Amino acid sequence: MSRAPLRIGIVGGGIAGVGLALGLSRHDHLDVQLFESAAAFGEIGAGVSFGPNAVRALAGLGMGETYVELADRTPAPWQDLWFQWRRGEDARLIGETYAPGVGQSTVHRADFLDALARLLPDGLARFGKRAVAVRQDAQGIQVEFTDGTQYHGDVLIAADGIKSAMRDEVLKGLGQPPVAPRFTGTCAYRGLIDSERLRAAYLARGVDTALIDMPQVLLGLDAHILTFPVKHGRLINVVAFFSDRSTPDPQWPAQQPWVREASRREMLDAFAHWGVAAQTILECIDAPTHWALHDLAQLPGYVDGRLALIGDAAHAMLPHQGAGAGQGLEDAHLLAHLLAEPGLTGAQLPEVLQVYDQLRRPRACRVQQTSWETGELYEMRDPRVGDDDARLGATLATRYDWIWNYDLADELARARSALGWPAAAASAQKQALAMR
């Protein structure tokens, strides 16, 4: 007799949640449902960056072709360049970082999510479903939504972002206090510029126009500005960060939105002491937005029984390493392959999720911590490097290798070993992953 399909519920329709749903939906022996609180899939923010590790995770989840079709890459001969690092006051070169085979690789968040959503099987996604509570026992897990409906499944994966409602459910089950998003003291102005407009402005000011074609970060005390081409070079994405270090425990007013419109004058005033290249960039942004950057403290656990957190719900971090989305995709990659194991039963799911937690949480926590530390480095606050050009250049050249070179196939093999699953199957899956 054939067994009933394993019922897998996913809460949250961002890139990590949709990626997991896509990875699982390829298997006929699984019954996958995705629940999104909004009326349709959607993301905010102009672009999302993917390092080599994230690109491999995308491929392993079956999203590689879609990504390649939409991704922006720095044009030749700079195709392997991740960023050039320069001084904010005079744009002098400090150093370069390379990501061979990938370079500065980005997609427009909304465009990418829309393309992924079109790949989902009909009926897999359900909208207007905001999760508020869960109950679980030895037979399964039940989630309740604000519209009064419920879902009964064998496992629930929460990918509901930094403001996750499911995070406190996990922490409560672990006997831990709730964890809310915290203001980091860093804000950013964001905007898009027509590349030809910026080129003309650079020419008028005597700034090297090659800075438009290559991804750049201008570094300064307590602030930094990054730029990179998007929309196949037609637009330049700009993010201008600045940090208030006047208090060790900064607080964001509860009634103020995290994102708002800003004036050009407000933005220029924040960078009034910067050099001509930085001033020219900011002057070309007509309608900047202001973002208050929040992250999460490192959690004591991502799993309680049959409930697991992935992506920003588990480890929201500062964007300074371009690694946040990649960590969510790594989470999804591991879970997609473990939950699709033939013969997996509902009774085995808590053990599977515990192994997920044991492998993913130390790495994601380290990326969280180093994302904050990288912001300190960019803004001349690293106690070992300070504002020394030579030390900055040498540090930035190799700082990201440990994130980018992560072996996803080895992680999966370690998970299978921890679960006592056959090594031969692990070898076969490792080979399959390498071929994708």
248-278: per-residue pLDDT in tens? 899 999 999 999 999 999 999 999 999 999 9
Task: State residue 2's pLDDT score.
Answer: 57
Cα 106 to Cα 11: distance, rounded to the nearest angstrom: 25
Which of the four pLDDT bands, split at 50, 70 and 90, describes residue 435?
A: very low
pTM of the model: 0.94
What's the rounded Cα separation, in Å, for the pair 397 and 134? Answer: 46
Question: What is the distance of C-alpha 403 from the center of its chain?
Answer: 13
Average pLDDT in the chain: 92
Mean pLDDT in residue range 24-37: 94
Residue 332: CB atoms within 10 Å? 30
Instruction: Please give the average per-residue pLDDT across 146-168, as a whole number.
Output: 96
Structure confidence at residue 339 (pLDDT)? 97
The answer, yes or no, to whether residue 39 has pLDDT greater than 90, is no
Task: Compute the distance between CA of residue 87 and CA of residue 218 in angstroms, rounded to an integer.
Answer: 5
Q: Is 134 helix (H, G, I), strand (E, B) or coil?
A: strand
Number of C-beta neighbours around residue 281 at 10 A: 26
Q: Note if 167 is an active site residue.
A: no
Q: Answer yes or no: is pLDDT of 42 > 90.
A: no
User: Per this entry, what is the length of the chain?
Assistant: 436
Q: What is the pLDDT of residue 46?
A: 64
Helix (H) or strand (E) holding 430: helix 423-435
Residue range 281-290: mean pLDDT, rounded? 96
Predicted pLDDT of residue 43: 60
CA angle 184, 189, 194 (to 5 degrees): 150
* Confidence label for 377 from pLDDT (cuts 50, 70 and 90): very high
The pLDDT score that the predictor gives to residue 427 is 45
Distances (CA, A) of 125 to 3, 11, 236: 24, 10, 34
CA separation for the pair 13, 30 (Å, rounded): 19
Cβ–Cβ < 8 Å for 287, 261: yes
273-294 mean pLDDT:
96
pLDDT > 60? residue 343: yes
| β-strand partners of 243 | 186
Residue 434 has pLDDT above 80, yes or no: no
Q: What percent of the chain has pLDDT over 90?
A: 78
- Assign 426 a pLDDT band (cuts: 50, 70, 90): very low
Write down the pLDDT at residue 430: 46
Q: Which residue of the set 190, 306, 361, 416 is catalytic?
A: 190
Band (76; pLDDT cuts 50, 70, 90) = confident
pLDDT at 429 over 90: no
> What is the per-residue pLDDT across 96-115, written as a single tens digit (0 to 9) for each?
999 998 988 888 777 888 88
CA distance readout (Å), 158 to 5, 142, 294, 322: 20, 13, 19, 22
Longest dimension (CA), the chain: 76
pLDDT tens readout for residues 197-219: 999 999 999 999 988 989 999 99
**What domains appear along the chain, each with residue ranges and CATH number?**
6-75+103-181+296-381+400-435 (3.50.50.60), 182-295 (3.30.9.30)
Looking at residue 379, its pLDDT comes to 98
How far is Cα 33 from Cα 8, in angstroms, rounded to an integer?
6
**Cβ atoms 156, 143 nearer than 8 A:** yes
Over residues 229-243, the pLDDT tens digits come to 888 888 899 999 999
The tokens for 435 are 């071929």
**364 Cβ contact list (under 8 Å, min separation 6):** 314, 315, 327, 330, 331
**Residue 316 above 90 pLDDT?**
yes
Cis peptide before 77 (omega within 30 of 0): yes
Convert the pLDDT of each residue in 356-367 to its tens digit: 999 999 999 999
